[in-house]
Structure 1
């Protein structure tokens, strides 16, 4: 038989259990299967690419066969006659000639080295004649083209070509000092070639506002491009 005291104790325990606060539901949403799979398949961060090396100078092989051959009569060596009112610095042209020398020729995309006969000197205006850069360049172009020559460039090589050949170019510039400014990089320099049946004649002209320089070089025909 249950006493009143025992009944009171049971009712107190039931009330305590019923009054226990419920745990708050979690607000976090569990990841879905697709999200877990996408996270697993995500690529790892890419490693930083190393800096690209400087591009090497582009070499365009010069093709002499694209220049029409000329059989027009040539004046006496050094072949190039200056316009009226101008003269070479030295009257003795033989002193400015070499029977055999090795000289560089810039074709616009390739640095060729020719072994052959050369002439180089400064260009000056006569007494009482004002030097004109435009006049000298125009008249020399007409004179060389009249011999069957073609102008293949109006600028020298860039800095990368110069640095790749610095030692030999500096040696040349010291030996051929009257045309040396045509062989600095990014310089004004007219380069002509006259293709003959058995040889090539090259003319390099550099003209400033008050004087200029010229080099004539003749030697074997360069091999045709392949």
Structure 2
């Protein structure tokens, strides 16, 4: 191979090239153009609050309503404006009816009035006139409107499954196609709920006053409980709870004290505490409610000193009625707690 001698010109070119390459390798890169500051997505699009928090903040709370001290007169407390009359008014001293609060159905127990309202003497029917008058009257008595609008489909399904859909069809109005107005007058010893909904050229009016049921049943003594369990293997006991809750009311204490005595007198006895409801409302809700109520009775007995190993608790919702759910008397019998021998 013939090697060509390096000329001065070539050497100079190589030297210049080397200097250029070395300069390029050691050069600090020029700073990039400053990027526009990134927009914090949380600033422009703040995260939506958690669903639970939203539900909690918007949940209806009757305790937040002002307490009215107005003198109400006699139930149902509401007079109709001129030009309107009530058709087929019906009052029941103790009933359970639904009111939509804006976030849930409130099943109110107590004295109930229901009627269909219509115009009279040639007066044209006006839902707006009617509701404006009723709202003004409620507010003059210290009450507040808690809802105005269409009741959601899920709530309508629950109402449809209840006896109120049949027994109070006139008072409910056409809630499936029309808007409803709901008001509450909160008094120190009771709450008065009002529901108004249009139905064609008429309207439905439902009023309920919370009132605890008068307990006329007496607590079964321990020996009577023992006799029924020996003969039938089970016995229904008188336990009262807060409406739609698992909190045991004080009136139930005498009966539960007798159950405690039964278990203390018979240390070999083991019991299943079974909760039952009527068929009002959603079946899954009823099942959960019956389970929680049975557990509350079990916990009461454990707190009273009964060994937890001797007790079980179960809930059956409305699946095992003891009476006809088509009557209020039957519903009352179906809302029960049973002691079943294990």
Give the TM bin, normalised by the shorter chain.
0.5 to 0.7
For 1:142, what is the secondary structure of its paired residue? helix
- Please, what is the CA RMSD of the aligned residues? 2.7
Bigger share in helix: 2
**1:37-186 equivalences in 2 (<5 Å):** 61-90=59-88, 93=89, 96-163=90-157, 166-168=160-162, 171-184=163-176
1:132–1:209 contact (8 Å) kept in structure 2: no
- For residues 154-196 of structure 1, what are the alpha-carbon distances to aligned partners after superposition, in whole Å with 9 as ceiling and x for unaligned? 124311333466522xx31111021233543x63100000000
8 Å CA contact 1:108–1:156 kept in 2: the answer is no
Over 6 Å off, 4+ runs: none
Give the TM-score taking structure 1 as reference length.
Answer: 0.63
C-alpha displacement of 1:89: 1.3
Query: Which blocks of at least 5 consecutive residues in structure 2 are unaligned?
Result: 1-50, 213-241, 244-342
Q: Does 1:219 align with 2:205?
A: no
Q: What TM-score, normalized by structure 2, do the two folds share? A: 0.43
Partner of 1:52: none
Larger Rg: 1
Measured after TM superposition, the shift of residue 199 of structure 1 is 0.8
On the 8 A contact 2:159/2:165 being kept in 1, the answer is no
Cα drift, residue 73 of structure 1: 1.1
SS at match of 2:161: helix
Structure 1 gap segments, 5+ residues each: 1-54
Number of matched residues? 161
